[in-house]
Amino acid sequence: MTDFEKKIGYEFKDKKLLERALTHSSYANETGTGLDNERLEFLGDSVLGFITAEYLFEHYKDKPEGELTKKRAYAVCEKTLFGYAEKIGLGDKVLLGKGEERTGGRHRPSVISDAFEALIAAIYLDGGIEKATEFVLPFIEIATETKPVFKDYKSTLQEVLQQNPTEKFEYIVVGESGPDHNKEFIVEVHLNSNVIGRGKGSSKKRAEQEAAKSALELMGL
């Protein structure tokens, strides 16, 4: 077992899964492997969301759906994930390209929070949902007991729009530009196929928050 595996409390059967979870796209592109952690990050986002939602459902039985949504949003937001990652020294282990390294990628919340989600997915694929839960639950427990100190525009917008169950809304990435170390995403909020908000950010999560903020401003909220 490596020192990092000891720190996270899980020993991988397939070490290549761990290596891929720690491989940023800039490193994969630079070395020509093409195997980065973005697909794992995609899966890890959903695994983390499920574990968090189940925990909240079981431990906050007296709380309404709206409050559970706010707690979940805080527990899985980029800033909180970055805090989780710092506790296990994840930034020191991520494989970065030279350009990303020079521009401070090792301490960039969007890069490290994505790697944390990729790590969750790697543990899930290697050991199953129980092992993934064992790893991430201690972080979730602390975060969900913390009062959010940020404005979660996505949760606020969801509460407003869910007042009319027939309304369908979704976030769509409509643009992506810039080098790996300085990406910019453009996201739109669509309500019944109509664009009601648009936002930019250094990560998809940030762009979604900005798009939700834009939609709320359009509604005068």
Which residues are catalytically annotated? 45, 117
SS3 151: coil
Reduced to 3 states, what is the DSSP secondary structure of residue 203?
A: coil
The answer to whether 86 and 54 are in contact (CB under 8 A) is no
Nearest residue to 175 (alpha-carbon basis) of 184, 167, 162, 166: 184
**56 contacts 137 by C-beta, under 8 angstroms:** no
Q: Kindly list the strands in the beta sheet with 194-201, ordered across the sheet, starting from the edge strand earlier in the chain.
A: 169-177, 184-191, 194-201
* C-alpha–C-alpha distance, residues 173 and 27, integer Å: 24
Whole-angstrom Cα Rg for the chain: 18
Are 94 and 115 in contact by the 8 Å Cβ rule? The answer is yes
